[in-house]
Amino acid sequence: MPVEGTIHTIGRRKEAVCRVYIKAGSGKWLVNGRTLGDYFPRPAHVSTIQQPFAATDMLGQYDVTANIDGGGLSGQAGALRLAIARALVKQDESLKPKLRSLGFLTRDARVVERKKPGRPKARKRFQFSKR
């Protein structure tokens, strides 16, 4: 449950859903009960997640607790980035133009295209044989 002074937001990308709780603190990260570097072993994912904080010069000023569900690591990292950006805007509305211009407040709506009947994948076709 959220504590007083905690901001709660939700971010989504592909099949991943992320619920984030941020509060003023020393910059501690807790993602599904693990540290950020432990949960996301790739440095590219960690830097993607921290982009909203870096863009607003607030890295290390908030404690972040995140519950992530579904999808793969890249989708989860994107969902976490969106949730953090939304939380920062909830905290300080003046950050919205900066985060919007960098694209951190836009929900990436691209999802996997469904497989069609009579085909091996969504768009791929079986080899054509004239005779």
Per-residue model confidence as pLDDT tens digits over 72-126: 999 999 999 999 999 999 999 999 999 999 999 999 999 999 999 999 999 999 9
pLDDT above 80 for 130: yes
Total structural domains in the chain? Answer: 1
pLDDT of residue 3: 67
Tell me what pLDDT residue 54 has: 93
What is the distance between the alpha carbons of residues 31 and 13, in angstroms, rounded to a whole number? Answer: 16
pLDDT band at 5 (very low <50, low <70, confident <90, very high): confident
- Which residues constitute the domain of residue 83? 7-101
* CA nearest neighbour of 55 among 95, 15, 1, 105: 95
Angle, CA of 4, 51 and 58, to the nearest 5°: 45
Chain centre distance of CA 65: 13
Going by pLDDT thresholds of 50, 70 and 90, the confidence category of residue 10 is very high
Q: What is the CATH number of the domain that holds 38?
A: 3.30.230.10
Q: Is the pLDDT of residue 4 over 80?
A: no
Look at residue 23 in the predicted model and tell me its pLDDT. Answer: 94
Compute CA distances 52 → 31, 59, 60, 80, 90, whole Å. 17, 9, 12, 10, 13
Does 71 fall in a domain? yes
Give yes or no for residue 131 having a pLDDT over 80. yes
Instruction: Give the three-state DSSP class for 129.
Output: coil
Give the mean pLDDT of the chain: 94
Q: Which residues are bridge partners to 21 per DSSP?
A: 8, 65
Indicate the helix (H) or strand (E) that contains 24: strand 16-24
- The first and second tokens of residue 33, run together, are 């009960």
Confidence band of 15 (pLDDT split at 50, 70, 90): very high
pTM greater than 0.75: yes
Residue 126 included in any domain: no
Instruction: Supply 61's token pair.
Output: 């000023």
Q: Round to whole Å and give the CA distance between 101 and 115.
A: 35
